[in-house]
Amino acid sequence: MNFRAAGIFRATAMEASKLVLRRAFARSASSAKRRVVILGANGGIGQPLSLLMKLSPLVSDLGLYDIVGTPGVAADVSHVNSRAQVAGFAGEENLGKCLKDADLVIIPAGVPRKPGMDRDDLFNVNAGIVQTLCTAVAKNCPKALVNIISNPVNSTVPIAAEVFKKSGTYDPNRLFGVTTLDVVRARTFLASAKKLNPSEVDLPVIGGHAGATILPLFSQASPKVSLSTKELDALTKRTQDGGTEVVKAKAGKGSATLSMAYAGALFAEACLKGLNGVNNVIECTYVESSVVPGLSFFSSKVRLGKEGVDEILELGSLSDYEQKGLEAMKDELKKSIEKGRKFVQSGGGGGGGKKKKK
């Protein structure tokens, strides 16, 4: 064998070895036992989300909770021939049983948006629901990662944080607002505008999860694209108003449930990969953060790990257009954060437990 052939052989052997190791690690990660609980599993988001999590090879045990109807949802998805064992729990008296030993809790519970409503209109009902459910999480599975989908996320995540603080269980690395749908929309809309494959498009979306607080960073898109100011305005506006677009299209009969379930499942799987030790899992999510001075919660790129948040990444270079958008959102986002905090600090709500369908 000549030297060149020997070098090629060694390189090929090394690549083969790396591939074997990657596959072995993937099998190990998917074989880890992980219990996932969905609170609000009988709702418009909860049902498709339950199916998607049942399909995930990363889930070994799936607990489904709602006020009513959950045993039926559990029976239905349990017939899917995938790994996860499923159990349904109905009624507040069974909430603690459902949460026991959870590694990840996903909360889509709450009332949906209707035409003419913005996310803030949901506050009075959904704030109480999130407070009640997070109180149960603090009592029954205080070490679980918690993914908040219930709107308005800009306020409900601070509500959850205050509940956990009161119980002495708060760990900012374990609490997440799910903003993945904004990222999914931005990728899809950009791909459509530029005739790209949506699965090959990536870009971060920062800020919050409502209206002008949603800021897609098209300047950081991959692959790199050139956009006129008119195109930027249109794509940014459509991303910010994606939820309203769906509410109008459904003519008062629903909100963004299917796409939200998809985005919720994507982020849940990212959290599970982090818990299982997969390296360099990076997603945008709304967490306690100091990346933007004056805003104690903010959505940006986060590296996920075995304890939840491993690292909050810097925003990177922003275009002038994006910098203006960042400045414009600050007051609204700050007010939403404070509204959530004050709700708990003033002893607000407490109830809201009768409306968990979404």
Per the annotation, binding residues for substrate are 113, 119, 151, 185
Give the residue numbers of the binding site for NAD(+): 40-46, 66, 126, 149-151, 260
Q: How far apart are CA 179 and CA 176, in angstroms?
A: 9
Please tell me which residue in 54, 174, 209, 341 is annotated as part of the active site.
209
Task: With H, G, I as helix, E, B as strand and everything else as coil, classify residue 326.
Answer: helix
CA dihedral sign of residues 272, 356, 179, 331: negative
Beta bridge partners of 66: 90
Give the residue numbers of the binding site: 40-46, 66, 113, 119, 126, 149-151, 185, 260
Q: How far apart are CA 44 and CA 254, in angstroms?
A: 8
**DSSP assignment string, 179-245:** -HHHHHHHHHHHHHHTT--GGG-B--EEE-SSGGGEEE-GGG-BS-----HHHHHHHHHHHHTHHHH
* The amino acid at 280: N
Is the CB of residue 237 less than 8 Å from the CB of residue 326?
Answer: no
Q: How far apart are CA 136 and CA 305, in angstroms?
A: 25
* 209 counts as catalytic: yes
Return the active site residues: 209
